[in-house]
Amino acid sequence: MLRFVLRRLLQAVPVLFIIITVAFFMLRLAPGGPFTAEKAVTPEILRNLEKHYGLDQPLWRQYLDYLGRVLRGDFGPSFKNSSYTVNEIIAQKMPVSLELGAWALLVALGLGVPLGVLAALRRNSWLDYTASSVGLTGICLPTFVLGPLLALGFGIHLRWFNVSGWYGPSDRVLPALTLGFVYAAYLMRLTRGGMLEVLNQDFIRTARAKGASEFRVIFRHALRGGLLPVVSFLGPAIAGILTGSFVIETIFQIPGLGREFVNSAFNRDYTLVLGLTILFATLIVALNLVVDVVQVWLNPRLKFE
């Protein structure tokens, strides 16, 4: 396993290098700049600003300087928040995004997996049809539609929850439901399909023939194999939850990394956009590695190759 992990980490290095390179040059070649959106400044002030941030250097020189800072773990200063560095902004906003992602993942697993198991156990029953309908609704309804609908119904009309902000526990409910419900639908369908496949295997019939209780058959024998598709999907799902928070944090005015990323993109804050891009890419690579290790642990037939 150690060789597998080290090999995957080495493979991640060129991937991250390509991401940094492409993002750097795409930002610099895009129209506008970090100081063009402000009110008009004199050419002298503009030259001083560009010199202060190193934007007067040739593009290749800026690129090499930035790579050197990234290797030291320094993402540089923020162009729009001159009092803070990118590292400080990430440290302030990251706990909010991680908490939102954790609640959304809990909603996705708490709804999707039980519904999928029940649908598989009661195949072609009203419970199966209801769970499948819920799953289809979640797949067809995007977060930028579901979020405003929940805010309108439960926030404005019923006044059960706040529609913006991140202060008390009730502020977590609507964003977590919006972000988690979509992935709960996918998890439900994957769990149902995986459980149906496992329940038809010979070892399940053998366990029942030996007199094992239904509870033991499901939770001891079937669930481990039935959840393999779910584990495979968790890597992309968590990545989708992290990137999906861009929309959710903007809708519900949550002070997290997603909202900061959107604002930095509009403001052409080069260093902040690049720092957040590198952070999200690193998290996705790490999550996919963890998922691969868990897959081998759940399915002994797989090997670390």
Report which of 293, 288, 279 is spatially closest to residue 11, judged by C-alpha positions. 288
Tell me the one-letter amino acid at 61: R
pLDDT digits (tens, 9 = 90+) for 240-261: 777 777 788 888 888 888 888 8
Average pLDDT on 4-33 reads: 82
pLDDT digits (tens, 9 = 90+) for 231-241: 777 777 877 77
User: Which domains does the chain possess?
Assistant: 1-305 (1.10.3720.10)
* Residues 18-43, mean pLDDT to the nearest whole number: 75
Nearest to 116 by CA among 221, 227, 213, 199: 227
Q: Are 27 and 274 in contact, with CB atoms under 8 Å apart? A: yes
Phi, psi of 85 (to 5 degrees): -90, 165
pTM over 0.85: no
Q: What is the mean pLDDT of residues 135-163?
A: 83
Query: Which tokens sit at 212?
Result: 């094992």
pLDDT at 38 over 60: no
Distance CA 226, CA 216 (A): 14
Task: Assign 39 a pLDDT band (cuts: 50, 70, 90).
Answer: low
pLDDT tens digit sequence for 109-129: 888 888 888 888 878 788 878
Q: Which amino acid is at 70?
A: V
Q: Is the pLDDT of residue 213 over 80?
A: no
Q: How far apart are CA 20 and CA 69, in angstroms?
A: 12
Tell me the C-alpha distance between 272 and 278, whole Å.
Answer: 10
Give the residues across from 85 on adjacent strands: 77
Reply yes or no on whether the pLDDT at 67 is more than 60: yes
The pLDDT of residue 37 is above 60: no
Confidence at 289, pLDDT banded by 50, 70, 90: confident
The per-residue pLDDT for range 157-185, each reduced to its tens digit, is: 888 888 887 888 888 888 988 888 888 88
